[in-house]
Structure 1
Amino acid sequence: MERLTVAETQPKRVHSVLFVCAMNAVRSPMAEAIARHYFGKSIYVQSAGVRKGEPNAFMVAALDEIGIDGSKHRPRTLHELEEWEGLNFDLIISLSPEAHHAALELTRTVAAEVEYWPTPDPTLVQGTREQVLDAYRNVRDGLSYRIRLRLRQGSEPQRPNEAEGS
């Protein structure tokens, strides 16, 4: 029976990650902001959407509750990101079915590992402001947990004040 070494069973260190969702308005920019918050400049992080959405105030509010500023985010598409800087990422994390399909298509021309993290779309939740915000908080907390778990492999997460440069 063949035994795998510890290095073979753990994901390789990620130097750059791209988060992709449908419109780059909620899930992927939230993931981008969280990853930057915890990993600072030790991992290059970007986000994009299959289509271009509109800035989302609930996304900004949910991040603000945990001390992360998401107010400067402007949605962009994969095509725009490719034109501006290329798509040279170690890891592409897709957060919606449509984004996963687009990420897999990218692997025809880009050498990147693709992971699919099915993430609910909080924009579909209806109810009071608090009920809607709770849906965004759930997405935020789920992404935060997965990002810290996945990206810390071979990279120490920075304490929040180090990531902010203070």
Structure 2
Amino acid sequence: MAAALAKHLYGKSIYVGSAGVIAGEADPFVTAVMDELGLDVQRHRPKSVDELEEYEGLGFDLAISLSPDAHHKALELTRTNALDVEYWPTSDPTLETGNREQRLEAYRAVRDELDKRIRARFRAP
């Protein structure tokens, strides 16, 4: 969600890469809440940090981690790469139980918090 939001806000004025601790499949709840904003992430396949490093390199200036595991992995990268690391603790919406609408609300909350943080950090228009 964070990468799609940043790309939407800034276009090609900044380079945004996205990776997690492990690769995975697209989350249909992410797809649904991003579609509410008109952002199509349906074809996005989450990559691992190792995949990102292998295919795109790690020529980044900044890594933003959203979970403790991701933060640990990002800090490991600073041993061999000159990059700043920021930790934005973010709740995990996959842990939400309940009906579909309750689960979507958890994803919306994460989406909206990320949007707010991205705009504050990068001074979005």
1:79 maps onto 2:17 in alignment: no
More strand by share: 1
Q: Gapped runs of 5+ residues in structure 1? A: 1-29, 158-166
Residue 5 of structure 2 aligns to a residue in which SS? helix
What do residues 124-165 of structure 1 show as CA deviations (whole Å, max 9, x unaligned)?
00001000000000000000000011012xxx54xxxxxxxx
State the 1:97 CA deviation: 0.1
Q: Gapped runs of 5+ residues in structure 2? A: none
**2:95 alignment partner AA:** L
Residue 12 of structure 2 aligns to a residue in which SS? coil
**1:78 alignment partner AA:** V
What do residues 74-133 of structure 1 show as CA deviations (whole Å, max 9, x unaligned)?
111111111112111111000000000000000001101100000000000000100000
TM-score, scaled relative to structure 1: 0.73
Residue 42 of structure 2 aligns to a residue in which SS? coil
RMSD, aligned α-carbons? 0.9
Instruction: Choose which of 63, 66, 70 in structure 1 pairs with 2:41.
Output: 70
In structure 2, C-alpha distance between the alignment counterparts of 1:145 and 1:74, rounded to whole Å: 24
Kindly report structure 1 stretches of 4+ aligned residues shifted beyond 3 Å: none
Identity %: 64
